[in-house]
Amino acid sequence: MVLGTTSGAGKSWLTTALCRWYSNQGLKVAPFKAQNMSNNARVVPGPGGMGADAGGFGAWGEIGSAQYFQALAARAVPEVRMNPLLLKPEADTKSQVVLMGQVSAELTALPWRGRSERVWPQIAAALDALRAENDVVVIEGAGSPAEINLHASDIVNMRVARHSDARCLLVTDIDRGGAFAHLYGTWALLPEDERALIHGFVLNKFRGDAALLAPAPQMLQELTGVPTVATIPLQWHHGLPEEDGVFDMTPTLGTGVSSLPPEGALAARGGPSPLAGRSTAAGAVYTTVAVIAYPRISNLDEFQPLKNVPGVRLQWVRSPADLAALGAADWVVLPGSKATASDLAWLRAQGLDGAIATHAARGGRVLGVCGGLQMLGEALIDTDGIDGNAPGLGLLPLVTAFARDKTVRLTRTRWGTLAGPWSALSGVDVSGYEIHHGQTAQHPAMAARGDVAREVMPGLAWTNAAGNVLGVYLHGMFEDTAVLHALFGTRAPTLDSVFDGLAQSAEACFAPGVLAALIAHPAPGTTPAAA
């Protein structure tokens, strides 16, 4: 099990790397996270099979994107047992609760601490089943395991560790400072029986001279009995999307680089600068993509492939000034949202509605994905209190009505004929996924006046008459190699190559034998710690 001293310590990254490393040893591996809080979700098979749309006998469900990628790293089929509880924040004090892949209105209405005992049986059953079916289960914790206000109702950290007798690694972000205090404080706040499950400390995001760490690791081991088993350098270009949040507020040139550090930052720890050796042609920016980063942005991980495409610069934008600073951005993207009406109101309050309209009027490309598509239309209609009513941006003659039932499914389809800037997509086969409450259709009064949206993917995508404004319900289309090739004439690194790189990086950072010892069966008469 991978625990962290804080959120953002590197649990998801390390869990993904370990899933691939153990899989590379010829083992059957599955990831698990009891509870995830994220608006980055993926559609996967639900209980009982491959999903009704695929001819199975289960329903499609949702899990956090991190567990989806961890499953792929493990060479396993992603499914809802790998993340039985998903909390999707809709406001600062409210989250939609997804249990075993399905939205639960009853659990959503319960107080936070009131859910724990209600959901624990399903969590434990999912974990037990995965353990029975696999050689190795790599479990990810959440936040910190030692938060004393949450420990009594914990269902994601030490309760899971105790239930499965997991051998735990505790990861800290040394780049933030205070790493040894974080490790010691977390260990010290745990009850003695839970401390015994901590088998190693991991220093993550390190840059500098490793010799300067001494004597802290040895002193920490003397205080706790726990060795520091790995020091992992800051990973600038691992190629995975971050689990949550807007993960890069600086411009990124697509070269497989997740975010560009200051020139020479890698050289300071013995590696090359990410800019070193790059020719002028290779470093040229051919396409600038501005993604609007509203407060309840969702599924932002689907844009990671754009960050890996040579010549593409992706920038998160939160104001007209941010957009203006990019000069003539080639694309403006309105991504998904967990609170479409609220995020649309925020967008207007920033003055971004006018900036987007001006960009579109000049013929610039505008792309709306899911919630972004809904914003591009004329109106949002909500008669059931799902999301909220609001006037749209009016860039597409469409209207969206919110429904109580959520559409959750994998989709494979084909683009129709597109005119204008998006014409390269015409006739291209595409795979992706849908997660939305809204149902969108042509605005009838506008159609009567002759203002008709061009449907370029049945029930899923529309453009304006000029062809430069495109709205689509399909998430994940930039992960489709055919779409990337059509738009950019190139391909991003494959996920398999990314996962293998993570595994190699992790293996190089751990002390010899540690990764094998974490899953070894102890000899008779020994304890797991001795193994």
The distance in angstroms from the start CA to the end CA of the chain is 16
Residue whose C-alpha is closest to residue 163's, from 128, 193, 137:
128
* Confidence band, pLDDT 50/70/90 cuts, at residue 26: very high
The residue-averaged pLDDT of 502-515 equals: 94
Q: Is 437 a catalytic residue?
A: no
> At residue 435, does pLDDT exceed 70?
yes
Residue whose C-alpha is closest to residue 440's, from 478, 477, 474:
474
Residue 277 belongs to a domain: no
- Which residue shows structure tokens 């008469």? 525
> At residue 270, does pLDDT exceed 50?
no
Q: SS in 3 state form for 348-379? A: HHHCHHHHHHHHHHCCCEEEEECHHHHHHCCE
| Candidate from 294-298, 421-425, 458-462 with smallest mean pLDDT | 294-298
Predicted pLDDT of residue 317: 94
Residue 72 belongs to a domain: yes
Residue whose C-alpha is closest to residue 142's, from 272, 296, 36:
36
Distance between CA atoms of residues 168 and 420, nearest Å: 54
DSSP state of 140: B
398-414 and 390-391 as β-strands: parallel, antiparallel, unpaired? unpaired
Residue 190 belongs to a domain: yes
Residue 243 belongs to a domain: no
- What mean pLDDT value characterizes the chain? 86
Q: Are 254 and 280 in contact (CB under 8 A)?
A: no
Q: Is the domain of 341 the same as that of 262?
A: yes
Residue 522 belongs to a domain: no
Predicted pLDDT of residue 238: 64
Q: Is the domain of 476 the same as that of 415?
A: yes
- Which residue shows structure tokens 């020091």? 231
pLDDT exceeding 90 applies to what percent of the chain? 66
Predicted pLDDT of residue 72: 96
> At residue 131, does pLDDT exceed 90?
yes
Burial class (CB in 10 A: 0-12, 13-18, 19+), 187: buried
Q: Which of 370, 436, 443, 509 is catalytic?
A: 370
Predicted pLDDT of residue 57: 37
The residue-averaged pLDDT of 263-268 equals: 28
Q: Is 475 a catalytic residue?
A: yes
CATH code for the domain in which residue 120 is found: 3.40.50.300
> At residue 39, does pLDDT exceed 80?
yes
Q: Is the domain of 39 the same as that of 111?
A: yes
Report phi then psi at 427, rounded to 5: 75, 5
> At residue 372, does pLDDT exceed 50?
yes
Q: Are 509 and 518 in contact (CB under 8 A)?
A: no
Q: Which sign does the torsion angle of CA 67, 73, 74, 77 carry? A: positive
Of residues 427 and 46, more confidence is placed in: 427
Q: Is the domain of 450 the same as that of 341?
A: yes
Distance between CA atoms of residues 69 and 66, nearest Å: 5
> At residue 267, does pLDDT exceed 70?
no
* Confidence band, pLDDT 50/70/90 cuts, at residue 49: low
Predicted pLDDT of residue 54: 42
365-369 and 331-334 as β-strands: parallel, antiparallel, unpaired? parallel
Predicted pLDDT of residue 94: 80
Residue 242 belongs to a domain: no
* Confidence band, pLDDT 50/70/90 cuts, at residue 129: very high
| Candidate from 298-302, 347-351, 364-368, 471-475 with smallest mean pLDDT | 298-302
Distance between CA atoms of residues 38 and 459, nearest Å: 27
Q: Is the domain of 312 the same as that of 437?
A: yes
Distance between CA atoms of residues 169 and 198, nearest Å: 6
DSSP string over 208-227? S-GGGGTTHHHHHHHHHS--
Predicted pLDDT of residue 461: 96
Provide the domain count of the chain: 2
Distance between CA atoms of residues 274 and 517, nearest Å: 35
Return the bridge partners of 41, or none.
64
- Which residue shows structure tokens 């600068």? 273
Residue 502 belongs to a domain: yes
At 193, list the tokens: 């029986």
Helix H segments across 146-299?
158-164, 179-189, 192-195, 216-224, 280-283
* Confidence band, pLDDT 50/70/90 cuts, at residue 328: confident
The residue-averaged pLDDT of 142-159 equals: 94
Q: Are 242 and 38 in contact (CB under 8 A)?
A: no
DSSP state of 422: G
Of residues 251 and 221, more confidence is placed in: 221
Q: Is the domain of 21 the same as that of 75?
A: yes
pLDDT in tens, 459-487: 999 999 999 999 999 999 998 999 999 99
- Cα torsion at 122, 125, 126, 132 (round to 10°)? 180
Most confident range (mean pLDDT) of 112-116, 147-151, 307-311, 341-345 is 341-345
Q: Is the domain of 438 the same as that of 506?
A: no
> At residue 490, does pLDDT exceed 60?
yes
Predicted pLDDT of residue 358: 95
Q: Is the domain of 377 the same as that of 406?
A: yes
Q: Is the domain of 44 the same as that of 140?
A: yes
Residue whose C-alpha is closest to residue 344's, from 385, 301, 292, 396:
292
Predicted pLDDT of residue 244: 53
287-292 and 331-334 as β-strands: parallel, antiparallel, unpaired? parallel
Predicted pLDDT of residue 444: 87
Q: Are 62 and 408 in contact (CB under 8 A)?
A: yes
The residue segments making up the domain with residue 155 are 2-237+498-517
Q: Is the domain of 325 the same as that of 453?
A: yes
Report phi then psi at 229, rounded to 5: -100, -10
Predicted pLDDT of residue 237: 62
* Residue type (1 letter), 334: L
* Confidence band, pLDDT 50/70/90 cuts, at residue 214: very high
Predicted pLDDT of residue 40: 86
The residue-averaged pLDDT of 34-58 equals: 70
Q: Is the domain of 183 the same as that of 37?
A: yes
Distance between CA atoms of residues 469 and 99, nearest Å: 36
Q: Are 170 and 4 in contact (CB under 8 A)?
A: yes
Q: Is the domain of 479 the same as that of 502?
A: no
The residue-averaged pLDDT of 205-221 equals: 93
pLDDT exceeding 70 applies to what percent of the chain? 87
Residue 354 belongs to a domain: yes
